[in-house]
Amino acid sequence: MICARCNTPIPRGAIACPVCNAPAPPAVKRPYALYILGAFLVLGYTVLILLAWTEPGGAPPPQTTEGLMFWSGVFGYYRAKRLGGSRWKSAGLGALLGLLGAVVVAFIAGMRA
Ligand SMILES: [Zn+2]
Q: Which candidate, 50, 98, 44, 101, places its Cα nearest to that of 74? A: 98
Give pTM, 2 decimals. 0.69
Q: Is the pLDDT of residue 113 over 70?
A: no
User: What are the residue boundaries of the structural domains of the chain, listed by start?
Assistant: 1-28, 32-112
Highest mean pLDDT among 11-15, 29-33, 90-94: 90-94
Express as a percent the part of the chain with pLDDT over 90.
46
Task: Give the model confidence (pLDDT) of 71-88 as tens digits.
Answer: 999 999 999 988 888 999
Cα of 24 vs centre of ligand 1, distance in Å, is 8
Cα of 14 vs centre of ligand 1, distance in Å, is 12
| Nearby residues of 38 by Cβ (< 8 Å), 6 or more positions away | 75
Q: Are the C-beta atoms of residues 36 and 45 closer than 8 Å to each other?
A: no
Cα of 45 vs centre of ligand 1, distance in Å, is 48
